[in-house]
Amino acid sequence: MFKTARYLCLALFVLLFSCVTTGKRYSSDQLASKFYNSVENINNKTLDKNNLNNLLDQATYLKFNSKVNLKESSNAFLLVDRSISDWEKNSFEVVKKNFADFTEYLFVTLGNKGKYEPKPHEITFLSFNLAINHALMGRYDLAAVEVRKIARREEAIERLNKKIYETVQKQEKFNANLGNEARAVYKIEEIGDYPLEEFNSEKVRNMKNSYQNSSANYLSGFIFETQGDISLAAPAYKKAIELNPNNNLYKNSLKNLDKKIGPTSNNKTEVLIIIENGISPELSSKRFPFGVPTATGLRRTTIFLPIIQDNLSTFNDDITIFANESKINLETTTEVDVILTKYLKDSMPKYLSAATTRALIQIASKQAFARALKKSDSGFGQVLGPALMEKIMSSYEPTVRAWGSLPRTIQMARLTLDKGKEYTLKINFGSKSDIIKVNTFKNYQLINIRIVGDEKYYRIENNNINEANNYFESVIKSVKN
């Protein structure tokens, strides 16, 4: 009885004090303009260090502003990485929480009032971006440290997801025992107006999970390959193939691994081109009707659930690239829109559990409050009125905060070029084309390109040893602080 009372009080507390509104929603054209302006005007003095999702966006903008030293982007990413490291350590204790305590943790993190925790795929993308930054500055040793975090954090996410699944199952049984008035919903199909089309797409159905990113695993293999470590490179390539089995880039890299590291490779340069295209879809919060049968008839209310809003106009579906007029085969390695849809589909039971449990308590609280008002001569019923009570009790919205500047897709190409030569890369995107000059100066090099609408940004690997050393010192200082 005590646990039940504690739980009901907790849920009512969360319900009443989660009154927030979601941020402004942008059209696709506005998002593209926002990205352009943000890249152009970003500087390290305006970083929002207390807001992790904003900080992730700002680190991205710093990455593609060619006027800013890349260490500024890395140091901003590392600020987020510290929080992720704390989350990783705390996750061992979180999964040990009892049902009531873990439910409190889960419901609060799903709401807009809770502390922002990067979504599982964002955690992987953090290491992905940091590894790219380190490699672009010629510090593959730092990049190797970063990609080692990926598998470890994937394990932490898996543990937490298992605990969430178990808790939602217990929550379902708990609500069922509340009586005839309890009808929590755990299947999104029961919410009639919810847009389900993308949930049932073949790509989403075939995706193993939303937190293991084949691009990140392939980059891990490439980084380990630069270090001559076949024992780590091969498993990373195999994991990338497992996640994206039809990708020829992954298969060929694993097949040719011994040849690339061997002595015959000394006069060749392996160039990895990473193209990030468009802007990832947004999460938005939408109100849906919800009805519960009670002893006094059907009680209607609303629940808020996250949905996906697409940004197709920021995306170029026709990108071609040539090296010295020879067309390069680009392979799509990650589709972030599919990852986000998979995340939302897999997470829907917990969102539904939070939303409908609050709705049940909302209805129960209204009825109890109404009974109390009938026994009172205070007149509060006339003062508050049903409309205001509905507004107070329907205030919960799920968090839709996210790393908004992630790309929609990632494409990769790998070239084996003669070392010590200059190459011309021509990129066609939409109605535009541009040229990038590349000098091959070492065994492995990396190029990162970002295309949003009609704009292109890029970073080519640094070949100045002094800049690489200064970068190393800056990053190490940031990690220690």
Please give the pLDDT value at position 295.
Answer: 65
pLDDT at 302: 82
Report the distance separating Cα 189 and Cα 344, nearest Å: 14
pLDDT tops 50 at residue 373:
no
Q: Do residues 451 and 276 lie in contact, with contact meaning Cβ atoms separated by under 8 Å?
A: yes
pLDDT value for 290: 81
pLDDT beyond 70 at 375: no
Looking at this protein, which amino acid is placed at residue 464? N
pLDDT surpasses 50 at 400 = yes
pLDDT at 246: 92
Cα separation, 267 vs 271, whole angstroms: 13
Q: Please state, for a pLDDT cut of 70, what percent of the chain lies above it.
A: 81
How many residues are given for the chain?
A: 481
Look at residue 380 and tell me whether its pLDDT is greater than 60: no
- Dist CA 450 CA 452 (whole Å): 7
Q: Which residues, 6 or more positions from 399, have their beta carbon under 8 angstroms from its beta carbon?
A: 109, 110, 111, 112, 114, 116
CA–CA separation, 477 vs 481, rounded Å? 6
Beta partners for 307? 284
pLDDT of the residue at 157: 93
Q: Region 40-67: what's the mean pLDDT? A: 88
Measured distance CA(429)–CA(242) in Å, rounded: 30
pLDDT score at 472: 87
Residue 74 phi/psi, 5° resolution?
-65, -40
| Contact by Cβ (8 Å): 410, 336 | yes
132 φ, ψ to 5°?
-60, -50
Structure token pair of residue 253: 């890299």
Q: What secondary structure letter does DSSP report for 25?
A: P
pLDDT, position 16: 39
Q: Measuring CA to CA, which residue among 403, 404, 401, 406 is closest to residue 114?
A: 401
Taking only the tens place, the pLDDT of each residue in 60-109 is 999 999 999 999 999 999 999 999 999 999 989 988 988 878 877 887 78
Look at the alpha carbons of 10, 12, 13, 19 in this order and tell me if their dihedral is positive or negative.
Answer: positive
pLDDT, one tens digit per residue, over 458-467 is 999 988 888 8
At 245 the three-state DSSP class reads coil
CA angle 458, 462, 464 (to 5 degrees): 155
Model confidence band, residue 193 (pLDDT cutoffs 50, 70, 90): confident
Mean pLDDT for the chain overall: 82
Q: Are the beta carbons of 270 and 155 closer than 8 angstroms?
A: no
Radius of gyration of the chain from its Cα atoms, rounded to whole angstroms: 25
Distances (CA, A) of 366 to 179, 361, 439, 464: 16, 8, 71, 68
pLDDT score of 354 = 81
**385 or 272, which is more confident:** 272
pTM of the full structure: 0.86
Q: Is it the case that residue 263 has pLDDT exceeding 60?
A: no
The lowest-confidence range among 112-121, 203-212, 414-423 is 112-121
pLDDT of residue 175: 63
Query: CA 220, CA 148: separation in Å to the nearest integer?
Result: 8
Least confident span in 144-148, 290-294, 365-369: 365-369
Q: pLDDT tens digits, residue range 435-464?
A: 999 999 999 999 999 999 888 999 999 888
> Which range (250-259, 327-336, 349-358, 365-374) has the least confidence?
365-374
Evaluate whether 247 touches 240 at the Cβ level (below 8 Å).
yes
Q: How confident is the model over 305-357, as pLDDT tens digits?
A: 999 987 666 788 889 999 998 999 999 999 999 999 999 999 988 888 888 87
Q: Does the pLDDT of residue 17 top 50, yes or no?
A: no
* Residue 242, strand partner residues: none
Number of H helices, E strands in the chain: 15, 11
Whether 58 shows a pLDDT value over 90: the answer reads yes
